[in-house]
C-alpha cells in the first residue's frame, strides 16, 4: 500500500476522521476481493496501538457514539500485524490464514513501517453474489408521474433510477441480476434489456399477482451459492457494497438489513408525569430511530422460508427469521441514500444527482 501514511490517525482524533480515511481508501478502487478498509491508530513516532475498520465504525453508530467521539473509544487494540523481518511469502501466507485483506507491518518497537495488501499478491475477481432488484411497485404516492411509467423508470439526472442502480452495482463488479417486475412490466423489460450494454446478465421475474416486498423472491428459479443482495428499485445510494458484504460475513449473519437513522422532533414540550405529579418537561425533544432502508443481504436458505404465490412483505420475512433465531443484523448506512417514493424526495434526488453520481 503506497500511501499507507494517509491511513494514520491519532487516538484523540474523532471517529469522523477515521470515516474519511476509510472512505478515501476504499473509494476509487472497486475491487471486491481486497478493498482498503482500515485506519491505523498511532501514538508518537507512529507506534501502532490499534486499528479501526469500517465495521467498527458501523457498530459504533448503532451503539449511539457521536462522530466526534475520540477514535480510541472504538479502536481494536488486539489486532493482527506482521514483523518487518518477514518475507513477502510469509506475509501472504499469514493473511490467507487469518482471512484478512491487509495487514500493518511494524518493527521491533511497534512502529508502523507499511501496510501489505492481499490484492498485491493475487488477482482480484468479480463477486459471485447475485443481486435482486424489486421493481414491481406501482408508485402511487407519486401520482400522475407513475400513471404510465413504473417508478424505477422515472428519470433522475437524465436517466432511469433503475439504470443508475444497475450502473452502481456493475461499478463494483457484480454481474448477475434478477429484476422482479409487475406494474407495467413490459416497459421495464423493454427499456432495461438483458444487461449486455453494461456487461452484466439480467433476468426478469414476472409477478402475475402482487406478491409484496418479499414474495417476488419466491420466483427465483434456483438457489444461489453465495449471499444475495436484495434492493428496492426506487432507492438511490452510494452505499459501499464492499463494506456491506464484509459486515455481513464478519458477523456470520443469516440476514442483514440496511438501516438509516431518522430524527423526529416533537413540536411540543413533552411532560413527564407520575400520576398527577409533573416531574419534568422536555421542550421539543428530538427522538432518533433506525428505519429500514430497503437493502438487504440474505443467505441462500432464506428462499426456503418464502411462501410461493402469496403476498408476503419483507417485515414478515424478517420476523420469521428472528423467530427461527437465525443471526440477523442491522447495517447502518452513513453514505448517500434517498428513496424517491415521495414528490419532495424525488425533487431532492434530482438536485443531488450530479454531485453524488457524476462518476457513473
pLDDT of residue 138: 82
The dihedral over CA atoms of 106, 112, 113, 116, expressed in degrees to the nearest 10, equals 80
Average pLDDT per run of 10 along the chain, which is 360 residues long?
86 96 61 61 96 94 95 96 96 91 94 89 81 91 90 95 96 95 96 96 96 96 96 95 91 97 94 95 94 97 95 97 98 96 94 93
Phi, psi of 233, deg, nearest 5: -85, 10
Cβ burial of 64 (10 Å; 0-12, 13-18, 19+) is: exposed
Longest CA–CA span in the chain (Å) reads 74
- Asked, colleague to colleague, whether 4-120 and 131-357 share their fold, the answer is no
Distance from C-alpha of 219 to C-alpha of 176, rounded to nearest angstrom: 16
Q: Contact 292/261 with Cβ under 8 angstroms?
A: no
Nearest CA-CA partner of 218 in 315, 127, 134: 134
Q: Say what the pLDDT of residue 176 is.
A: 97
- pLDDT, residue 35, reads 47
Task: Cite the DSSP H helix spans in 234-282.
Answer: 241-250
At which residue does the C-alpha cell 456487461 appear? Answer: 199
Residue listed under C-alpha cell 435482486: 132
Could you tell me the fold of the domain covering 4-120?
CBS-domain (3.10.580)
pLDDT of residue 28: 41
Sign, CA dihedral 270-271-273-275, equals negative
The class that CATH gives domain 131-357 is alpha beta
Q: What is the distance between the alpha carbons of residues 209 and 206, in angstroms, rounded to a whole number?
A: 9
DSSP-based three-state secondary structure for 179:
strand
Measured distance CA(220)–CA(300) in Å, rounded = 11
Distance CA 309, CA 302 (A): 16
The residue behind cell 420466483 is 219
pTM of the model: 0.90
Report the pLDDT value the prediction gives residue 316, as an integer from 0 to 100.
96
**Domain segments of the chain: what residues?**
4-120, 131-357
Amino acid at each position: 500500500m503506497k500511501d499507507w501514511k494517509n491511513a494514520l490517525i491519532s487516538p484523540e482524533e474523532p471517529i469522523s476522521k477515521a470515516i474519511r480515511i476509510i472512505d478515501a481508501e476504499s473509494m476509487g478502487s472497486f475491487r471486491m476481493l481486497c478493498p482498503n478498509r482500515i485506519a491505523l491508530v498511532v501514538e508518537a513516532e507512529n507506534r501502532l496501538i490499534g486499528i479501526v475498520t469500517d465495521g467498527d465504525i458501523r457498530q459504533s453508530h448503532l451503539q449511539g457514539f457521536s462522530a466526534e467521539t475520540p477514535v480510541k473509544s472504538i479502536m481494536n487494540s488486539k489486532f493482527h500485524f506482521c514483523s518487518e523481518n518477514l518475507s513477502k511469502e510469509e506475509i501472504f501466507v499469514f493473511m490467507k490464514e487469518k482471512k484478512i485483506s491487509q495487514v500493518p507491518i511494524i518493527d521491533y518497537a511497534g512502529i508502523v513501517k507499511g501496510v501489505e495488501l492481499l490484492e498485491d499478491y493475487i488477482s482480484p475477481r468479480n463477486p459471485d453474489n447475485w443481486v435482486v432488484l424489486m421493481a414491481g411497485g406501482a408508485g402511487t404516492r407519486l401520482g400522475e408521474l407513475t400513471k404510465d411509467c413504473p417508478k424505477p423508470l422515472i428519470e433522475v439526472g437524465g436517466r432511469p433510477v433503475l439504470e443508475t442502480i444497475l450502473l452502481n452495482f456493475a461499478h463494483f463488479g457484480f454481474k448477475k441480476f434478477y429484476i422482479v417486475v409487475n406494474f407495467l412490466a413490459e416497459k421495464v423489460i423493454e427499456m432495461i434489456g438483458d444487461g449486455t450494454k453494461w456487461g452484466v446478465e439480467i433476468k426478469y421475474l414476472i409477478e402475475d399477482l402482487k406478491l409484496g416486498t418479499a414474495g417476488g423472491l419466491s420466483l427465483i428459479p434456483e438457489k444461489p451459492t453465495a449471499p444475495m443482495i436484495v434492493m428496492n428499485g426506487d432507492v438511490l445510494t452510494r452505499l459501499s457494497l464492499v463494506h456491506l458484504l464484509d459486515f455481513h460475513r464478519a458477523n456470520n449473519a443469516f440476514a442483514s438489513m440496511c438501516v438509516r437513522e431518522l430524527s423526529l422532533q416533537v413540536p411540543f414540550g413533552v411532560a413527564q408525569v407520575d400520576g398527577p405529579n409533573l416531574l419534568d418537561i422536555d421542550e421539543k425533544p428530538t427522538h432518533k430511530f433506525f428505519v429500514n432502508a430497503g437493502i438487504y443481504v440474505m443467505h441462500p436458505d432464506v428462499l426456503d422460508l418464502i411462501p410461493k404465490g402469496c403476498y408476503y412483505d419483507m417485515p414478515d420475512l424478517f420476523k420469521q427469521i428472528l423467530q427461527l433465531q437465525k443471526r440477523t443484523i442491522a447495517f447502518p448506512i452513513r453514505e448517500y441514500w434517498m428513496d424517491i417514493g415521495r414528490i419532495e424526495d424525488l425533487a431532492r434526488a434530482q438536485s443531488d444527482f450530479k454531485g453524488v453520481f457524476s462518476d457513473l
